[in-house]
Amino acid sequence: MPGEAQLSARSLGSPITDHRSSWVRRLSTTFGDVFIKTYEYATWVSRLRSAVRRTGPGTQSRAAREFDALQWMRAHSLPGPEPLAVLEVRRLGFLVRATLVTTAFPGEPSDELMLRLEPADRERLAVAMGRFVRKLHGLGFRDRNLDLRNLLAQRVSGGWSIAKIDSPRHVLKAPGSDFDALARADWARLLPQLERFGLAETARAATASD
């Protein structure tokens, strides 16, 4: 595997997103395509601003938290990309840069799919989302970053399969109940996004049926 400096370079691979302090690249390798996501804290101001939560000594980076979430998904037989590596650069214990490497996954962001699907397909996708979130919560996963753009969907026999990415703020609880405040907060974040398509009730109703 290339070194940290090469993997985290903006110039590597094909651009997927390109923000001031973070970027994602797709890279073709002899073992298949990978996604490389980098967070950069280039100044001491940016490092100190997030020191308590993600950049200070002893804290977990966003990349490391996302790696852990993807590992948890795979351990619970949920679809999604495989996390391959996390690379970090620190200075005096403070995070300068963190990079997450994962396999590519054959799904599309649900916010983009919703814009072009026919109504019947949109409804089936909303049902799949509702059942997926119910399963996540039942297993004890509280995402705290539950946005349509982070729900990757792919067609499967009989409907849609959903995978969750970008979960640096996740919390794990004991499996079982899904009526706690964090579970409710997940729904409060997702449902307004679905309501734009008139599908909030459809997704919520799917949690009560199989």
- Residue 119's pLDDT band (boundaries 50, 70, 90)? very high
The CA-atom distances, in angstroms, between 81 and each of 78, 151, 187, 204 are 10, 12, 23, 26
Detail the DSSP E strand segments found in 30-140: 32-40, 83-91, 94-103, 108-109
pLDDT for 78 beyond 70: yes
* CA neighbor of 188 nearest in space, from 151, 143, 121: 143
Task: Classify domain 108-208 at the CATH topology level.
Answer: Transferase(Phosphotransferase); domain 1 (1.10.510)
Residue 138 — φ and ψ, nearest 5°? Answer: -60, -30
Confidence of residue 73 (pLDDT cuts 50, 70, 90): very high
CATH of domain 4-103: 3.30.200.20
Query: What is the pLDDT confidence band of residue 210, given thresholds at 50, 70 and 90?
Result: low
Q: What is the mean pLDDT of the chain?
A: 94
Element (H, E) at 205: helix 200-205
Any idea of the CA torsion for 185, 193, 65, 16, to the nearest 10 degrees? Answer: -170
- The residues of the chain that CATH labels 1.10.510.10 are 108-208
Domain with CATH 3.30.200.20 in the chain: 4-103
What is residue 178's predicted lDDT score, i.e. its pLDDT? Answer: 81
Burial of 54 (C-beta count, 10 Å sphere; 0-12/13-18/19+) = buried
Supply the pLDDT for residue 183: 96
